[in-house]
């Protein structure tokens, strides 16, 4: 066999000094060959990104590689001086970082940033990099590259910024490309474009790819081999087909059990209890033992052996561990006929003025929300889905009157919120709360958990007695699965999942009827996501809560929601029951959105409808149907006028000329 592009043997990396030493990578080995995609899978904090930084020799100041070997095309990288390493870094090995916005220089044009990489790592083009820059932009399929070359990062969409990062990584014609969560922050339609682009580039160049991700669907779609990391250790490796047919390690099996699917809607998800252990100190036994349902005494007291060989195997005391998927008690159903409408939105419009010049004259508008109708019944969940920038979050804030609508009506429990003001609106807000997308940034880091959860009570003038207020907070924390000793602690002392529970507790403290959940699980790993979804479902059945669930995760939608509304460029294009919309999507945008969702099955055989380009600017929506520039089924009438709403026999509402016949 040929020499692998990358061979890592027994890599151990440490960070910190003295009592604060952490070992994020322990005794890790892997091989990646030319043309192969090797996926490194695992939860946040398991050591995936630190493995990549070890390969690149970009560890933080207190980091060091304690032991092991990293060979790139047969050359030992750990023996190189820093100056020699620079020739490989960005040259023979390129890296796409997780967040393109923070990796790109905001005050340099795209062309200059790619040009720096070309001058450093492509000797053939270093004297005159202009031609190579355009070639790279065309290679990653950036439209109108001659114009984009002069633009700045803030002028590009998320998908295009990620393409620029890929172009920079390819500047040195790398033999190995490390992609660290390259699609995590992207919508499924843009994610499909980026994944297809990486596969096409690999076919053209034969480069090896190390893909770092926590998304099982992405692994199934693009990887040849997969390694599962847990608590800094590689606990399983296999070819993708074998892994998805029969995962070996109990942790891997649990990840599959925790995935939300339509078939699990009547029961709670099987979450993984507890948290990833601290990486300080030494481990006596299996690192997963405290969370493993089949652990025995040996699992806690002795290190597990490797079961299998270098091609396929896992770390475990059992030769063939089998976890039967637990069957959870079904949630009680909700009688559809007994429901009352809690929220009704009619013709909601939110337009933001565009002001220019010294006198700040209004020269146009951003049509963020442009005529939205929807309703939510008591005890039910409406999911609102669509690409970033389509107006989903603005709809949620407009409903809560956090942003005052330009036009339209918002009836909540019979009252038109758009007509309420001052004290009346403040009183009504007791019944409506929001869970923000990023719990960490929505909490004051200098406030204790007790103070954070109590904010609503203080603002509404409720529970003025300190003792009774604390008692109520303790009850709410227990309800969301947090201990009483959390009261005096601060947000940074909790994990991502725990911070999301705190955000839920803050929303529940006023006993609301409606909660707007704005991407509440987008930043969470599969196992933590399962815990939060179970909690939201449990609270809904116990308290009769209604949710507006804003998300782009279609897998979550299929599990948690009753009804589904699909949004594109400020307008709802299709809405109805979640079963009807997901099983028989009628609008071309809905069809493309659902087809682009990665499925955790390498043999799914699904056909992806790949949308070209990005969503148009909401400040200049296209004439006619807003979707027609990207629609593979567009007709002449689609370019002339926006379609009227049609009501289908199953109760769905849809705006598409294909459904109305273009009449």
The whole-number pLDDT of residue 334 equals 41
Strands 432-435 and 415-416: unpaired
Inter-helix orientation angle 110-121/158-170, to 10°: 20
Place 325 in a pLDDT band, splitting at 50, 70 and 90: low
DSSP state of 375: E
Question: Do residues 435 and 397 touch, judged by C-beta distance below 8 A?
Answer: no
% of the chain exceeding 70 in pLDDT: 97
Q: Among the listed ranges 101-110, 282-291, 344-353, which one has the minimum average pLDDT value?
A: 101-110
**Angstrom distances, CA of residue 469 to CA of 442, 451, 661:** 22, 10, 60
The whole-number pLDDT of residue 645 equals 94
Q: Among the listed ranges 99-103, 332-336, 354-358, 620-624, which one has the minimum average pLDDT value?
A: 332-336
First to last CA, the chain: 63
Query: Which residues are CB-contacts of 143 (< 8 A; sequence separation ≥ 6)?
Result: 613
Q: How would you classify residue 42: left for phi > 0, otherwise alpha for psi between -120 and 50, otherwise beta? A: left
pLDDT tens digits for 65-91? Answer: 999 999 999 999 999 999 899 888 888
**CA-to-CA distance for 173 and 508, rounded, in angstroms?**
53
**CA-to-CA distance for 205 and 228, rounded, in angstroms?**
27
**Angstrom distances, CA of residue 181 to CA of 19, 191, 194, 205, 575:** 31, 11, 12, 21, 31
Query: For the stretch 216-253, what's the b/e string if a residue is b when 16 or more beta carbons lie within 10 angstroms of its beta carbon?
Result: bbbbbbbbbbbbbbbbbbbbbbbebeebbeebbbbbbb
pTM above the 0.75 mark? yes
The H or E element spanning position 197 is helix 188-205
Place 335 in a pLDDT band, splitting at 50, 70 and 90: very low
More confident residue, 593 or 522: 593
Reading the block at residue 247, the tokens are 């995962």
pLDDT tens digits for 128-140? Answer: 888 999 999 988 9
């Amino acid at each position: 066999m040929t020499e692998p592009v990358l061979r890592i043997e027994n890599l151990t990396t440490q960070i910190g000094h003295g009592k604060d030493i952490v070992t994020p990578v322990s005794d890790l080995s892997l091989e990646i060959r030319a043309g192969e995609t090797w996926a490194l899978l695992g939860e946040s904090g398991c050591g995936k990104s630190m493995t990549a930084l070890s390969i690149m020799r970009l560890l933080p100041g207190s980091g060091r590689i304690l032991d092991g070997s990293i060979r790139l095309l047969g050359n030992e990288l750990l023996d190189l001086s820093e100056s020699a390493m620079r020739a490989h870094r960005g040259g023979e090995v390129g890296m796409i970082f997780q967040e393109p916005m923070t990796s790109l220089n905001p005050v340099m044009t795209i062309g200059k940033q790619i040009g720096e990489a070309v001058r450093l790592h492509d000797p053939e083009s270093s004297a005159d990099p202009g031609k190579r820059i355009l070639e790279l932009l065309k290679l990653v399929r950036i439209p109108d590259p001659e114009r984009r070359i002069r633009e700045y990062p803030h002028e590009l969409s998320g998908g295009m910024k990620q393409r620029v990062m890929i172009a920079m990584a390819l500047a040195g014609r790398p033999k190995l490309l490390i992609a660290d969560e390259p699609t995590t922050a992207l919508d499924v339609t843009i994610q499909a474009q980026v994944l297809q682009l990486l596969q096409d580039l690999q076919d053209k160049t034969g480069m090896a790819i190390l893909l770092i991700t926590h998304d099982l669907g992405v692994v199934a779609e693009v990887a040849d081999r997969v390694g599962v990391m847990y608590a800094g250790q590689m606990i399983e490796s296999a070819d993708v087909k074998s892994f998805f047919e029969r995962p070996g390690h109990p942790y891997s099996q649990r990840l599959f059990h925790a995935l939300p699917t339509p078939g699990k809607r009547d029961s709670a998800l099987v979450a993984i209890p507890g948290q990833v252990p601290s990486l300080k100190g030494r481990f006596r036994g299996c690192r997963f033992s405290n969370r493993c349902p089949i652990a025995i005494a040996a699992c806690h007291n002795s290190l597990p052996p490797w079961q299998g060989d270098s091609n396929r195997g896992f770390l475990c005391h059992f030769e063939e561990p089998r976890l039967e998927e637990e069957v959870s008690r079904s949630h009680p159903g909700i009688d559809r006929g007994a429901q009352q409408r809690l929220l009704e939105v009619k013709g909601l419009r939110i337009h933001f003025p565009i002001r220019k010049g010294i006198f700040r004259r209004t020269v146009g508008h951003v049509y963020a929300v442009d005529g939205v109708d929807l309703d939510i019944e008591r005890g039910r969940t409406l999911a609102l889905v669509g690409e970033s920038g389509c107006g989903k979050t603005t709809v949620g804030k407009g409903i809560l009157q956090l942003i005052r609508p330009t036009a339209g009506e918002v009836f909540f429990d019979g009252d038109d919120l758009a007509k309420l003001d001052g004290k009346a609106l403040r009183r009504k807000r007791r019944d409506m709360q929001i869970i923000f997308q990023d719990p960490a940034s929505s909490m004051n880091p200098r406030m204790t958990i007790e103070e954070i959860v109590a904010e609503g009570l203080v603002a509404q003038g409720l529970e003025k007695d300190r003792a009774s207020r604390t008692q109520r907070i303790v009850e709410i924390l227990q309800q969301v699965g947090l201990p009483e000793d959390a009261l005096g602690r601060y947000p940074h002392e909790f994990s991502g999942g725990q911070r999301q529970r705190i955000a839920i507790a803050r929303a529940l403290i006023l006993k609301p009827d409606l909660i707007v959940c704005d991407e509440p699980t987008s930043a969470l790993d599969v196992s933590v996501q399962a815990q939060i979804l179970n909690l939201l479902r449990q609270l809904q059945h116990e308290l009769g809560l209604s949710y507006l669930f804003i998300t782009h995760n279609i897998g979550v939608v299929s599990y948690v929601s009753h009804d589904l509304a699909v949004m594109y460029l400020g307008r709802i294009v299709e809405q109805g029951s979640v079963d009807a919309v997901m099983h028989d999507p009628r609008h071309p945008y809905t069809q493309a959105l659902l087809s682009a969702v990665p499925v955790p099955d390498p043999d799914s055989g699904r056909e992806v409808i790949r949308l070209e380009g990005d969503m148009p600017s909401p400040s200049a929506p296209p004439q006619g149907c807003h979707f027609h520039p990207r629609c593979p089924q567009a007709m002449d009438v689609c370019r002339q006028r926006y379609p009227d709403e049609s009501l289908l026999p199953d109760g769905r509402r849809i705006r598409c000329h294909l459904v109305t016949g273009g009449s």
